[in-house]
A and B are shown apart, each in its own frame.
Chain A
Amino acid sequence: MSEYNIQKMISEKKGRRSSAFIEKMVPIILLLITLVSVLTTIGILVTLLSETIVFFTRVSPIEFLTSTEWSAFSSDPQWGIFALIMGTLKITVIAVIFAVPVGLGAAIYLSEYASDRVRRIIKPILEILAGIPTVVYGFFALTFVTPLLRGIWSEVNLFNALSPGLVVGVMIIPMIASLSEDAMSAVPNTMREGALGLGSTRLEMVFKVILPAAISGILSSIVLAVSRAIGETMIVSIAAGSTPNASINILESLQTMTGFIVQVASGDATYGTDTYFSLYAVGMTLFVFTLIMNVVAQWLSRKFREEY
């Protein structure tokens, strides 16, 4: 044996260790940290609710829900949220019509047709696309897409729904593509072999076997993307204008819920005014919309995971 005894050294150190105390404290501290996320949710709910209630003591909730006109800055303000919802809806619908086929097509290509090499090149590019700040997309919509559209179609206004809608679509394409591809890749290979072994073409296999098997994962990705489009702020603030209206014309200026919040916060409203509190009523509406979408998306993706 050597000149020292490690077990003896260990038992000598033991007395000085405060490890038992640390072991007891760590889970408590970590639990407290974990609760910050819960407090954040509570904070959001309390903030939105309390200020929204103040808003509804000044403005009738019936007007809020039934009027179709929103003019917060006029001398005779109108508070019909429908005008803002309509703006959000127009942008979202254009984005989804553009992004769903493109995103799904890309997902099908990447999951079922592309070689490993192609996939290794394309996926990081999609990630870069997903990481571009929305203020940059806004600039792109205003200075590139809008002039392009106006060149093709002279009736397009400088501020319109089409250009930001398409760009919001570009923004959500990576989300649909990568989440749907995950869902399709998760379909077991045995199902592919089964379909191809019976003489289906790859296309028939995709539509008759892969898509039905991955459907809840794909739907979940689309719902999440819709939620993202609803909450998107900078693109619409920059390129959609600031005139709330309930029309379905996609060529003229409009305002979304998020766009209104930014306009007010950019300095047009002082604390305590009706307009200030309307910020929270609009925020609450937005929050409810996206929350419903997220819950649906989670339900769908849980359902998807149960299948395998």
Chain B
Amino acid sequence: MTSSKVKEEKNMNTVYDTAVQDRTEENRTIEQTQAVFQAKDFNLWYGNNHALQNINLDFNENEISAIIGPSGCGKSTFIKSLNRMVELVPIVRTEGDIVYRDQSIFDKSYTVEDLRTKVGMVFQKPNPFPKSIYDNVAYGARVHGVRNKKVLDQVVEKSLKGAAIWDEVKDRLNDNAYGLSGGQQQRICIARALAIEPDVILMDEPTSALDPISTTKIEDLMHELKKDYSIVIVTHNMQQAARISDRTAFFYQGYVVEYDKTNVIFDKPKDQRTEDYVSGRFG
């Protein structure tokens, strides 16, 4: 797939979406054919705590979808459900379905390793491995059996360029990634996720541990990445969601209160709770 074609499809998609939106009042599920992820009546429990309740959401290709909401609303739990990382907590139980590219992620024939190879993740705190910058970025490819040194070199260079950090680190690829600043570490982590060319990138509050300058760099980067990847981002920072995302879902107490185009959510939300939250009255 060439990127120009992707753009074209995306534009058509947006036009179509707007049309749909005008016709229907209640449109949580926005558009079917181009969705990469679809949650269908998804429920999740931690033990007896019903953390996610009847989630129905579609995330579109080549868009940035933001999830906002107050602490404890289930937004992190939900994004971790998309690549099944949430199952690392032993007491988790789920019901309903999440479909990735027309296949249920809970399908028995589908291994979590396959899913996570296609759906990359960037975490809240920068979490590079205590290895060299090169080894960090090459990690995914090596784990999946790619050992050709020439290919790895290219992967590393391309990913670091893609994460807009190549110029800062190209002369010290063999230095330990722990020696970098927090913002640089986070971009190394993004490069590491890009290296296996995932289809979707999940970002769980990727800038919450960073200073404003690093945050701006990462937000700019996300705009670039949108051309080739679909991005789902959880953020507690409403301005960030407003700045970068195409669509925004507002989570509250385990429910999706409202999901719409970002400008709708921030300018004329339909639900009073959404309005209270985005205008800073609680949260």
A10 close to B146 (CB less than 8 A): yes
Complex contact B145–A10 (CB within 8 A): yes
Q: Does the CB pair B146–A7 fall under 8 Å?
A: no
How would residues 1 to 40 of chain A score, 1 for a CB under 8 Å from any chain B CB and 0 otherwise? 1101111011001101101100000000000000000000
In the complex, whether B155 has a CB less than 8 A from a CB of chain A is yes
Please provide the chain B residues from 141 to 167 with a CB less than 8 Å away from any CB of chain A in the complex: 141, 144-146, 151, 154-155, 158
Q: Which residues of A contact B195 (CB under 8 A)?
A: 6
Neighbouring A residues of B68 by C-beta, 8 Å: none
- CB distance A9 to B146 under 8 Å? yes
How many residues on the A side are at the interface (Cβ–Cβ under 8 A)?
Answer: 14
The answer on a CB contact under 8 Å between A7 and B154 is: no
Chain A residues whose CB sits within 8 angstroms of the CB of B196 once the complex forms: 6-7, 10
Residues of B contacting A6 in the complex (Cβ-Cβ under 8 angstroms): 141, 146, 151, 155, 195-197
The A contact surface, by secondary structure, is: helix
Tell me which residues across on chain A come within 8 A of B113, comparing CB atoms. 19
Residue B253 is within 8 A (CB to CB) of chain A in the complex: no
On whether A13 and B154 interact (CB within 8 A), knowing A5-B197, A6-B197, A7-B118, the answer reads no
Interchain CB contact under 8 A, A7 and B197: yes
- Digitize B124-150: 1 where CB-to-A-CB distance is under 8 Å, 0 elsewhere: 000000000000000001001110000
A2 to B144, CA, bound (A): 19
* Nearest CB on B from A5, distance (A): 7
- The B1-25 residues at the A interface (CB cut-off 8 A) are 2-3
Q: Whole-angstrom distance between the alpha carbons of A7 and B144 in the complex?
A: 9
Q: Which B residues have a C-beta under 8 Å from some C-beta of A?
A: 2-3, 111, 113-114, 117-118, 141, 144-146, 151, 154-155, 158, 195-199
Q: Which residues of A contact B118 (CB under 8 A)?
A: 7
Give the distance in Å from the alpha carbon of A306 to the alpha carbon of B56 in the complex.
Answer: 44
- A263-307 interface bits toward B, Cβ cutoff 8 Å, 1 = contact, 0 = none: 000000000000000000000000000000000000000000000
Cα A1 to Cα B5 with chains together (Å): 13
Which of B3, B145, B154, B198 touches A2 (beta carbons < 8 Å)? B154
Residue of A with least CB distance to B151: A4
Give the 5 A-B CB pairs with smallest separation, nearest first: A13-B145, A10-B144, A6-B197, A7-B197, A9-B146
| Pairwise interchain contact B145-A16, C-beta atoms closer than 8 A | yes
Contact between chains at A7 and B145 (CB < 8 Å): no
What would be 5 A-B contacts, judged by CB atoms less than 8 Å apart?
A: A1-B3, A5-B197, A6-B195, A7-B196, A10-B144
A13 and B117 alpha carbons, distance in the complex (Å): 13
B159 — nearest CB in chain A belongs to which residue?
A6
| B145, A17: Cβ atoms closer than 8 Å | yes
In the bound complex, do residue B117 and residue A7 qualify as a contact, i.e. CB atoms below 8 Å apart?
Answer: yes
Nearest A residue to B1 by beta-carbon distance? A1
